């Protein structure tokens, strides 16, 4: 069964995508930014945009029945400015410090809206938490 989560993102209907899709025990969240119907939250602040993006990802995963961020196995972080990686990394650590998904940082990205400084994608897999392995 396929479950889709839509949001108030201004590009979803126009481009033909949704915020998240869950199939079975796997969910993927589209590139998520701080852009909403009234513009970008924290237009000049990468930390505000990071928190808003991660909040929206947690909300989408919860709507998919994925226990919020708890089942996240991968994040991908796209940055306009490489020098923002440490600020963003610290916030990512606040949200994912106990979960520790794999992640990638890519920088020098030009986004479709001029005020966007960061975009984040996430993948989650439900189940198997009791089998957690820590090196």
| Residue 132 domain flag | no
More confident: 131 or 3: 3
Helix, strand, coil % over all residues of the chain, rounded to 5: 30, 30, 40
Among 2-6, 63-67, 76-80, the range with the most confident prediction by mean pLDDT is: 76-80
Classify residue 134: in a domain, yes or no: no
Residue 70 pLDDT greater than 90, yes or no? yes
pLDDT score of 38: 87
Which residue range(s) make up the domain with 58?
2-126
Distance between CA atoms of 127 and 110, rounded to whole angstroms?
Answer: 36
Asked if residue 131 is part of any domain, the answer here is no
- State whether the Cα torsion 62-70-1-13 is positive or negative: positive
Q: What is the CATH number of the domain that holds 84?
A: 3.30.1330.40
Model pTM?
Answer: 0.91
pLDDT for 12 beyond 90: no
Each residue of 76-116: pLDDT tens digit? 999 999 999 999 999 999 999 999 999 999 999 999 999 99
Share of the chain above pLDDT 70, in %: 94
On whether residue 88 sits in a domain, the answer given is yes
Q: Is the residue at 32 inside a domain?
A: yes
Q: Is residue 27 included in any domain, yes or no?
A: yes
The number of distinct structural domains making up the chain is 1
């Amino acid at each position: 069964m396929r479950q889709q989560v839509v949001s108030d993102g201004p590009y979803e209907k126009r481009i033909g995508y949704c915020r998240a899709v869950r199939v079975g025990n796997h969910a993927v969240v589209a590139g998520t930014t701080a852009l909403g119907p009234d513009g970008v939250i924290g237009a000049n602040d990468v930390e505000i945009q990071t928190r808003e993006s991660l909040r929206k990802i947690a909300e989408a995963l919860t709507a998919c029945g994925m226990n919020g961020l708890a089942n996240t196995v991968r994040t991908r972080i796209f940055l306009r400015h490489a020098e923002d990686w440490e600020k963003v990394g610290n916030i990512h650590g606040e949200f994912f410090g106990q979960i520790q998904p794999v992640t990638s940082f890519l920088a020098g990205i030009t986004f479709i809206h001029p005020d966007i400084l960061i975009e984040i994608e996430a993948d989650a897999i439900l189940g198997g938490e009791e089998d957690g392995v820590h090196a």
